[in-house]
Amino acid sequence: MSETHAALKDQSATRSLLRLWPYVRPIRTRLFSAAFVAVVASCLGLVIPLVLKWIVDGPVAEHDPGGVWLGALYLLLLGLAEAALFGFRRWLVARPLARVEAEMRADLYRHVQRLPVSFHDRWASGQLLSRGTTDLMLLRMFLAFPLTFLLVNGVTILAGFAILLSQQWSLGLVLLVPVIPLVVLCSLFETRYSLVARQAQDQVGDLTTVVEESVLGIRIIKGFGQHRSQALAFRELSGRLRGTELAKARLLAGLWGLITTIPELAIGAALVLGTVQVADGDLSAGTLVAFLSTALALRWPVESIGFLLAMSQESATATARFFEAMDAEEEGAGSSGLLGCAPDPLLGDPGSSSSADRAPGALPPGPRSSNAGGAEVVPTGGELASADWELSARDKGGVRFEGVGFRYPDAADGSPPVLAGIDLHIRPGETMALVGGTGSGKTTLTALVPRLHEAGAGRITLDGEDIAHMSRERLRGLVAVAFEEPTLFSATVGENVLMGGGGPEDLERALDIAQAQFVRRLPQGVDTQVGEQGLSLSGGQRQRLALARAVVGRPRFLILDDPLSALDVHTEALVEAALRRVLQETTALVVAHRPSTVMLADRVALLSGGRITAVGTHQELLRDSAEYAWLMSGATEQHDDEGKDGR
C-alpha cells in the first residue's frame, strides 16, 4: 500500500481527473450548458433575499397588504424558475453521462481483452471487475454532480459575498473571517481522504475477488466442507473494508462539523452586530433581513464543500484505478517485445543455440533431410554443395523452434529459465507428442506458439515465417489450441464451439470428431445454454466441447494440451480414432501424459530441465531413454521436481 500512497502523492486529484477529458470532450457543450443553467438557477436564489428586503422596508413598513401579496408572488415565481432550471440541468446531462460511462466500460473491456496473459496472471479478476463497475459509477456521479456544483457553488459564494458587502460591508467582513481556516481544513482533508478512499476502493476489489472465487469454486468449498473458512476470510476482508469506510466517515464528519460550525458562529456574530446597528438606526430592518437571508442561502454552498471534495477525491482515485488498467501495454499487433531488446543473460542471445544444448534428434539451424524411416540425417558436404544450402520445402514448412528460451516475468532474480535452447522441428502434416515430467514446461512451450507468452530468446517459425513478425490476429487464425483446462462461456453449445472458427456446416463435423454426441440429448441440442463456466456439464463433456472448438475451423496448426485427460477409456478410444483423421490434415503439437495419447503422434519429443533431451518415435525413446520409459511406465518413484517456475 505504501507504493500506492506514494503514487497518489505524486499525482494530484486534478491531474487524475483531467485524464477524463477525451471522454468528456464530445459532450462538453451540454456539460457547459448544464453548468451555466445551474449557475443561473443558483443565482436566482440570491435574488430572494433582495425581494424580502423590498417587502420588509416597503409593504410591511407601510402596512400595505397588497404589496406583501405581490412580493409573495415574486418569491413563488423565483422558486418555480429555480426548480425548473435545476430540472433542465439534470435533463441536459443524464443521457450524455450514461453514454460516457458506457464508452469507458466498453473501452476497458476491449483493452482487457487485448492485454497479454502475463497481465491477467498478475491481476485479480475482482480488481478488474470493481474498476469496470463501482469505479465507473463513481465517475458518472462525479461528472453529473460534483464537477458542476464545485463551479456553481464557487460562483454562488462569490456572488453572495458581493451582495453581502454591498449591503453592509462591516457585516460582510465578519462573514469573511472563516475563509482562511476553511481553506486550510479543506487542504488537510483532501490529502488524508484521498489515501483512505484509495484504500477502500482497493479493498472493494479484493472483496469482489473473494466473492467471485467462492461462487466459481462452490463445488470445492462444499466438497471439502470449507464454507466456514471461506466465510471467515470474507468476514475478515469485509471487516477491514468496514473499518476503512468508518475512517472515511470520521474524516468527512469532522470536516463537515467544522465547516458547519465555523460559518454558523460567523453568522451569529453578524446577527448580533446587525441587531445592534438596527437598534442604533444605522441599518434598516429590511437590510438586516436581506443580509441574514443571503448568508443563510450561502450555507448550503459552503457546507457542501466537504461533501463535494469527498466525492471528487473518490472520483480521482477511481480515475487513477481505471487508467492503471488502461495504461497497461497491450499485445503488439506485430513484432514481439524481443526485437531490439537486450537478451536475457540466463536465456542467451535470441536466435542462437549451442550444439551442446541441442537434444539428440533436435534440429540445428542448418539444412536437414530425412530418410525413409523418418529419422533426421545431416547431409554430407557434397550434398550440401549440390543443394546450394537451400532447405527443402518440407524442412522449411511446419513448426520450427530455434534456440527458444523463456522465463516468467515474476520469476525470482537468478532463477533458472523455464525453457532454454529449445530446438525442435515439426514437419508439415506431422503430429509431434510432447512428453515431460510435471513442471517441465510443456504447457509453457505450447503457449509460445500462439504468442500467449513471448519467447525470451530464439524464434519460432510457421512454414518458415517468424511468428514475431505476424500480426496476432493472423497468427491465431492459423493456430488452434485446446487447453488442458477446458473453459466454456455462458452461451449455447454451438456458440462455444464456433468460437474456434468455421461455420454452422462445420459444427456437426467437429462434434462428431470430439465424440460429443451427448449434445443431441440436451434439452435444446446445440442451442442449449451451458451456464457459467460450463459447470452444468461434466469434466469430460467440457473437454470434448473444447476439443471440438479447436478442430472446427480446420486449422493449419493445432496445439492440444493433454486433450483427453478427462475422458473414460471407451470415449478416449473413439475420440482418438476420429482425431487421427484430423491430425492427418494439419501440423500438430500434442502434450501427452499417457501412452494412448502418444500413439496419436508420428514422433515424440522429451522435455526435461527446460530442454529437448530426446526426439524419436515412441518405440525408439522407450529403448533409448530411461527417463521417457520411466514417464510412460507410470512409476511412482519421484523422478524430477522442477518447482513452480516450470508451470
Residues in a beta bridge with 431: 588
The domain spanning residue 593 has which CATH number? 3.40.50.300
Q: Which is it for strands 557-561 and 399-406: parallel, antiparallel or unpaired?
A: unpaired
Q: Indicate whether 296 and 435 sit together in one domain.
A: no
Cell, residue 239 = 471487516
Q: How far is CA 171 from the centre of its chain?
A: 55
Distance between CA atoms of residues 115 and 630, nearest Å: 40
Residue 368 lies inside a defined structural domain of this protein:
no
Query: Is the per-residue pLDDT at 380 higher than 70?
Result: no
Cell, residue 222 = 462444499
Residue 356 lies inside a defined structural domain of this protein:
no
Q: What is the pLDDT of residue 361?
A: 42
- Are the CB atoms for 448 and 407 separated by under 8 Å? no
Residue 342 lies inside a defined structural domain of this protein:
no
HEC-encoded secondary structure of 96-151: HHHHHHHHHHHHHHHHHHHCCHHHHHHCCHHHHHHHHCHHHHHHHHHHHCHHHHHH
- Are the CB atoms for 258 and 155 separated by under 8 Å? no
Reported as a single tens digit per residue, the pLDDT across 134-176 is 889 889 888 888 888 888 888 888 888 888 888 788 887 888 8
Q: Indicate whether 122 and 269 sit together in one domain.
A: yes
Residue 98 lies inside a defined structural domain of this protein:
yes
Distance between CA atoms of residues 13 and 36, nearest Å: 24
Q: Indicate whether 447 and 313 sit together in one domain.
A: no
Distance between CA atoms of residues 206 and 192, nearest Å: 22
Number of independent structural domains in the chain = 2
Distance between CA atoms of residues 422 and 233, nearest Å: 43
Per-position b or e across 100-115, b if 16+ CB within 10 A of its CB: bbeebbeebeeebeeb
Reported as a single tens digit per residue, the pLDDT across 28-45 is 898 899 889 988 888 888
Among 303, 326, 349, the domain-final residue is 326
Q: Which is it for strands 557-561 and 479-482: parallel, antiparallel or unpaired?
A: parallel
The domain of 109 spans: 2-326
Residue 355 lies inside a defined structural domain of this protein:
no
Cell, residue 259 = 465547516
Average pLDDT over residues 365-382: 38
Q: What is the pLDDT of residue 426?
A: 92
Among 275, 305, 326, the domain-final residue is 326
**Please, how many CA atoms are within 13 Å of residue 300, restricted to the half-sphere of its CB?**
9
Q: Indicate whether 320 and 439 sit together in one domain.
A: no
Longest dimension (CA), the chain: 126
Among 307, 326, 345, the domain-final residue is 326
The domain spanning residue 249 has which CATH number? 1.20.1560.10
Cell, residue 287 = 437590510
> Please, which pLDDT band fits residue 391 given cuts at 50, 70 and 90?
very low
Angle, to 10 degrees, between the axis of helix 146-167 and the axis of helix 28-55?
A: 30
Reported as a single tens digit per residue, the pLDDT across 270-287 is 888 888 888 887 777 878
| DSSP letter, residue 637 | S
Mean pLDDT of all residues belonging to the chain: 78
Average pLDDT over residues 536-555: 82
Residue type, 572: E
Q: What is the pLDDT of residue 566?
A: 60
Residues in a beta bridge with 432: 589, 603
Cα→Cα distances 324→6, 137, 198, 211, Å: 15, 17, 13, 23
CA-based nearest residue to 411, from 482, 347, 320, 502: 347
- Are the CB atoms for 608 and 577 separated by under 8 Å? no
Where on the phi/psi map is residue 420: left (φ > 0), alpha (ψ -120 to 50), or beta?
Answer: beta
Q: Please count the other Cβ atoms lying within 10 Å of the Cβ belonging to residue 381.
A: 7
Query: Is the per-residue pLDDT at 568 higher than 60?
Result: yes
Cα→Cα distances 387→190, 375, 382, 392, 520, Å: 76, 20, 9, 9, 55
Q: Indicate whether 295 and 438 sit together in one domain.
A: no
Residue 260 lies inside a defined structural domain of this protein:
yes
Residue 150 lies inside a defined structural domain of this protein:
yes
530 or 347: which leads in pLDDT: 530
Q: Indicate whether 292 and 441 sit together in one domain.
A: no
Cell, residue 563 = 486433450
Query: Is the per-residue pLDDT at 3 higher than 70?
Result: no
Cα→Cα distances 290→126, 299, 344, Å: 54, 14, 77
**For 42-56, 213-227, 501-515, 633-647, which range has the lowest pLDDT when averaged over its residues?**
633-647
Distance between CA atoms of residues 396 and 196, nearest Å: 60
Q: Indicate whether 438 and 320 sit together in one domain.
A: no
- Are the CB atoms for 174 and 273 separated by under 8 Å? yes
Q: Indicate whether 632 and 496 sit together in one domain.
A: yes
Q: Indicate whether 256 and 133 sit together in one domain.
A: yes
Query: Is the per-residue pLDDT at 19 higher than 60?
Result: yes
* Helices and strands, number each (H, E), in the chain: 26, 12
Q: Please count the other Cβ atoms lying within 10 Å of the Cβ belonging to residue 191.
A: 12
Strand blocks (E) in 545-597: 557-561, 587-591
> Please, which pLDDT band fits residue 323 given cuts at 50, 70 and 90?
very high
**Locate cell 493433454: which residue?**
562
Q: What is the pLDDT of residue 572?
A: 73
Backbone angles phi and psi of 359, in degrees to 5: -75, 155
Q: Indicate whether 321 and 430 sit together in one domain.
A: no
Angle, to 10 degrees, between the axis of helix 179-216 and the axis of helix 134-144?
A: 150
Average pLDDT over residues 423-427: 92
Q: ∠617-622-623 over CA atoms, to 5°?
A: 100
Distance between CA atoms of residues 341 and 343, nearest Å: 6
Q: Please count the other Cβ atoms lying within 10 Å of the Cβ belonging to residue 67.
A: 16
Residue 352 lies inside a defined structural domain of this protein:
no
Q: What is the pLDDT of residue 634?
A: 63
